[in-house]
Amino acid sequence: MVMLSRSRVVGLGLALAAAGAVLYFWPRQEPGVSEAITRQVITMARAAETKDVSGVMEGVSERFRTDSNWDKRQVRGVLTGQVLRGQWVRVFVTNLEVHEVSPSQGDFQARFIFGRSQAESVKDLAAESVLNAYLIEGTFEKEDDGVWRVVRAKYRSLNPTELL
C-alpha cells in the first residue's frame, strides 16, 4: 500500500491544475473559411430538424437578402411554416461546396432535401411522406461578433432526377 503525504497530494493537485490551465488557455487555431461555413450549414440544418427556427435564424445575417429581395423576416416566416408543418422533419445536406472568397467571406452551394411525414405507423410512412428539395447558393460572411452568417442566397426547386 502506497501512502501519499499531504505535500505530495497538494503537489499533484497543483500539477493537475497547471496542466488544465495550459490546455484551457492554449491558443486554438480558428477553422478555415470552408470548415467554418460547413459547420454553420450543418448546425442550421440540425436546428431545422429539431424545429428550432431561432437556431436556424442565428445563422442568418440582419443584412440578408435573397435574389427575390426577401429579407431575414420573410425567410423566417417561410421557414417557420415549413419546419412546423408535419410531425417529422429531416434535413439532408448533400453536395455541399464552399469556396473561399476572402478570410471573412465564402460562397457555398448545396442541395437541401427536406423530408416530412404525418404518418402514424411505419406502413403509412412511404405513402404519407413529402420530400422537398432545393439547390441553394449563397454567401456567408464572418460578422463583427465572429459568427459566420449567410448574407445572400438564391434557390431553386430540384426535381427528383436531380437528387441522385
Residue-wise pLDDT for 1-22, tens only, equals 556 566 665 665 666 666 666 6
- Record the pTM: 0.76
Helix, strand, coil percent values for the chain (each to nearest 5): 40, 35, 25
26-78: pLDDT as tens digits: 656 678 999 999 999 999 999 988 889 999 999 999 999 999 999 999 999 98
pLDDT of residue 88 exceeding 70, the answer is no
**Cell numbers standing for residue 164:** 441522385
Mean pLDDT of 155-162: 88
Strands 88-102 and 105-117: antiparallel
Q: Do residues 66 and 85 lie in contact, with contact meaning Cβ atoms separated by under 8 Å?
A: no
Q: How far is Cα 46 from Cα 138, in angstroms, rounded to an integer?
A: 19
